[in-house]
Every structure is written in C-alpha cells, then in structure tokens.
Amino acid sequence: MIIKKDFLVIGSGIAGLTFALKASQFGSVAIVSKDKLAESATLYAQGGIASVMTDDDSFELHASDTIESGRGLCREDVVRIICREGPSHVRELINLGVKFTRRGEDYHLSREGGHSRDRILHANDLTGQEIERAMIEAINSKKNITVFPHHMLIDFITRGRLDSRVEPGSAKDEALGAYTLDVNTKQVKTFLSKITLLASGGAGKVYLYTSNPDTATGDGIAAAYRAGTKIANMEFIQFHPTCLYHPQAKSFLISETVRGEGGILRLKNGRTFMETYHPLGCLAPRDIVARAIDHEMKKSGDDCVYLDITHMKGYQIRERFPNIYQTCLQFGFDMVNKPIPVVPAAHYTCGGVLVDLNGQTNIRHLFASGEVCYSGLHGANRLASNSLLEGLVLSNRAVAKAALLLKSGSFNNINPDDIPSWDCGNAVDSDESVVVSHNWDEIRRIMWNYVGIVRSNKRLHRAERRIQLLLNEIKEYYWNFTITKNTLELRNIALTAHLIIMSALQRKESRGLHFTLDYPETDSDWKKDTVLQDTTRRMVNQTSLKTTSHE
C-alpha cells in the first residue's frame, strides 16, 4: 500500500504536531504515530516550558543558563535563536488554547535546576498533557492532515539506498519517504513524501530504569543512522535525579519543580547533602544532582534518597502538584506529611540526529526536531524545561525552510514504480518470541550496569562486546522472521545502545552527563562533538536479501 503526501511527520509530540499544523498551510500532511496520537514524551512532561516572559528576565540570561548547563558544547547561535524566538511561539500555543496556570492575572512561573530566574510556564504538573490536548484539537480541525496511529517506522526510503550512483548520507542523497508497520494489521505501508520530519522522541527504554514512556525505544535515531544521517553526542544521556522509588511505579517522574518550590533532598537519616556538591544545592543542574545521589547511595548502601516538601502546606501541595500527589498516594506515600523515596532514572537523550539551525539533516528533505535530534541547544547537559522549547522553535524553523524548498520546486518527481514494494521474502512467523523478550531485558540491564551515570573503560568495553553479540543475533532474527512491533523495537534499542557505547568510548574526558572514572577531568581538547555515520549500502527490505549485503 502506497500513500503519497507532501509532508510526512513521524512522531506526535510537540515537535511533530507543531510541524504538522504549520506545514498544513503548504500541502497535505501525514502524521505517523507509533501509538495513539497523544502518546509521546510530551504527554508526560510535568515541569513545563522555559521561556522569557517577565521584565526581570532576558534572552541573555536564559541563554547564559543554557550554556552553563551545556558544559561548553552548546552551539551558541542555536541557543540564542531558540531563547529569542521561544516567547512568540509560546504565545502561539496560548492562542491555540493551551491553558497555562495563572496566579491572578499573570502566569505562574516556576524555577528549576540551573535557571537563574522564574521562567517555567506550566499547567500545574500536567503541562505536556495540556499541550497535547490543545494541539490535537487543532490537528483534528485540519482537513489536509491525515493521522495514522499505531504505525511504526521501519526504515527511511532514500535516494542513496535505491540509486547505486548516490552514496548514502552524501550531499546528493535525499529522503523520499518511509516504510512503516501498521501494528494492528501487521501490514507494511509505504509513505512517499517531498519533505519528511523525524520527531519520534528519545531512547530512554534502552535503560532498565527510565521515566520515559514505552514508545521511547530509539526508533528514529536507529532508522536515521541506518539511512546514513550523522548522529552526534549519544554519550550524553540525562538521568533525572528524582523518580519515585517503588517496584510498581515504573520510575514515575517527580518533577524538578518540586525542588523548585523548595523541596530538599535528604538521606535516610534525614541529613541533607547537596550543599556539599554545588552552590545551588538541590537546584544544581541535573547531571550534578544525579551523580550526587548515585554517589551517596553507593556510599551508604541505601536503595534511595528522600525528597522532602513537607514545609509546604497540604493544600498548597495538592493544588501545585495534583498529579504527583495523587500518584504518590496510590503507592502509599503522603508527600504532605513525609519525604518521598526517589532515585535517578534515564530521562532524556541529549544527543541524536545532527541538524542545523533549521532542523535539516545531512540528507536532503529529511528534517528532525525534538528529542530525536541534536541541534546544539543542550550541549553536554540539557537545562530543565528546554526540551519542549526546542521542539517548538525548531519545528517552526523547519517548516519555514521546507516551505521555501517546496516553493523552489527543487524536487525530483517520485515514481511509485521505482520504489521497491515491501515483501517479506522467505521470512516466516516466529514461534520463539522468548528470544525477543530475553534480548530486550539483557540489553537494558547491560546499559544500566555498564553505561549508566558513572562509567569506566572496563565497563564500556564489556558492554560493547556483549551488545555486538546481541546485534549479530538480532540481525539474523530480523531477516529470518516476519517483522513485528517487538522485533522492530528490539532491533532499534540494540543499535541505539551500540551508538551510545561507541560515542562514550570516543570521549576521553568527563563532561556534563558523561562521567568516566578513567578520565575524571574535563579536557579542552574534547570541546567538540562525537559524530557517528554509517554509509553502508543496505537493502531496503527483505526482498533484497538474496542480492544485497546487509547490516
């Protein structure tokens, strides 16, 4: 089945929906969402969106805070553009119907770690849910936007994969669309498009403990790498310092705004400790807080530390953090009266598909925005609540650039007859699904134990050897059996894990989110990006197995 649109959007968080809404002014749009339309990392964003909204704040201060958190790797031109353009796009969200929390006539602005001003707009502690609600209502009102829920990206269709005269990932390469799996019907659908935006989110599920939704399996990063895009700085995985510690809580996130409202981190004996690690104490940047908690837990042998917000009155806690309060209560923790147990968990992928100021990748007509990309905003450590801001601004810039490309008419016509149809070849249904679940679990445990908050060469090389064995096993499994959502996710988390490990092995220093015992100091010679690219000419589907070397 072939579906042709002017724009193909992969992902339905703030980055994908922003692009789709704006792009609908210039042509037809298809949104491919791995789950239901609302399911994305944006949906679970509690804290809010950082933006300069008051006279005592400034773009320069916001940029300075961002650059400070980024530990020398931020692209300053990107930082200043996103900080400067952010407020106008936030106002567009408000005009779209997003109801941010007010205190009287003014918006209530909170402060999070690393920020020097109160500049976090929020909808209590359900900001992402409110943004998704308003944007989906707007999407549903557009006749030229078609939504394909429960469709999963398999691989991109590019000129470099089809034409032997074009090197994959080269300046002549271009995106033509993508193969996707309809998860419900198991049918593979071919999408052809003039412009493709990748906004599929991050890769937190590569780790055993994560605050991310189940959809965050690195699909976009892995598919982009297979297509030949450049992938940058995958060693920088942000671990959120405070996720609820409970076996059934699935690492439920306790927003940084709890500390922004005066929450204090304590050890089991009640002693505070963050003041010994950073002048900002509990509001230090996330990488420092996460490492501090990790260190204290290893030193004491305790399973967790505690977050104490009991200085606030009960009604204030229930009003400011209704979702967090109710969730904690469900697991037996009353944050009004007692500190709640917390631990770090994988939270945000700061590296990703390398893009320019307009979200353009090194493959023509393929853009990326949001957590899946590396624009240079976050550098070696993301400043709290800058993620929604990045997706919002970068997608607006990507649409503007894409519209110019459409106007210029610089597109080669795509003849559907030239696009290989998906054919499963000799693949058969698997009767050994235990292989998938076992490998999935093994990868996540390897990454948590050896490529976590604190690393070493010994741990990284051990992880590298084991992941490579798993990659080989998964590759054979992938080509022999009919694809399923579980198979695709396993393939993607294995490759994404490999990219994280290889990037971490390259960086011979400690900087931001990458801390290694072998190189504990920051080295000015490494004030640069780690970039990985694969230009292997692979098959585009199983039919090519007999005639083309693969992975």
Establish whether 286 is a catalytic residue: yes
∠ Cα 57 113 309 (to 5°): 115
Which has the closest alpha carbon to 96: 53, 132, 51? 132
Our separate counts of H helices and E strands in the chain read 14, 20
Kindly report the average pLDDT of the chain as a whole number. Answer: 91
List where CATH 3.50.50.60 sits in the chain: 2-46+128-236+350-408
Indicate if the pLDDT at residue 155 is higher than 70.
yes
Position of tokens 């695709």?
488
Band (pLDDT 50/70/90 cuts) for residue 358 is very high
Mean pLDDT, residues 25-39 = 95
Band (pLDDT 50/70/90 cuts) for residue 542 is very low
Note the pLDDT of residue 547. Answer: 30
Q: What is the distance, to the nearest Å, from the Cα of residue 214 to the centroid of all Cα atoms in its chain? A: 12
Number of Cβ within a 10 Å radius of residue 330: 12
List where CATH 3.90.700.10 sits in the chain: 240-346
Mean pLDDT, residues 402-414 = 81
Q: Which residues contact 26 (CB under 8 A, 6 or more apart)?
A: 6, 7, 399, 402, 403, 406
Q: What CATH number does the domain located at 240-346 have?
A: 3.90.700.10
Number of Cβ within a 10 Å radius of residue 178: 26
- Marked catalytic residue, from 119, 159, 286, 291: 286
Give the DSSP letter of residue 283: G
Note the pLDDT of residue 551. Answer: 38
Note the pLDDT of residue 543. Answer: 41
pLDDT in tens, 172-213: 999 999 999 999 999 999 999 999 999 999 999 999 889 898
Band (pLDDT 50/70/90 cuts) for residue 46 is confident
Mean pLDDT, residues 378-393 = 95
Q: What is the b/e burial string over 117-139, where b = at least 16 CB atoms within 10 angstroms of the residue's CB? A: bebbbbbbbbbbbbbbbbbbebb
Note the pLDDT of residue 44. Answer: 83
Note the pLDDT of residue 466. Answer: 96
Q: Quick one: 2-46+128-236+350-408 is in which CATH superfamily? A: FAD/NAD(P)-binding domain (3.50.50.60)
Position of tokens 């585009």?
540
pLDDT in tens, 271-326: 999 999 999 999 888 888 999 998 999 889 898 999 999 999 999 999 989 989 99
Q: pTM above the 0.75 mark?
A: yes
Q: Which residues contact 103 (CB under 8 A, 6 or more apart)?
A: none
Note the pLDDT of residue 537. Answer: 61
List where CATH 1.20.58.100 sits in the chain: 433-522
Band (pLDDT 50/70/90 cuts) for residue 415 is confident
Confirm if 6 and 26 have CB atoms less than 8 A apart: yes
Confirm if 532 and 234 have CB atoms less than 8 A apart: yes
Mean pLDDT, residues 526-536 = 92
Q: Which residue has the higher pLDDT, 118 or 545?
A: 118
406 token code pair: 């459409």
pLDDT in tens, 431-471: 667 778 889 999 999 999 999 999 999 999 999 999 999 99
Burial of 106: CB neighbours in 10 Å, binned 0-12, 13-18, 19+: exposed
Q: What CATH number does the domain located at 433-522 have?
A: 1.20.58.100
Mean pLDDT, residues 516-520 = 96
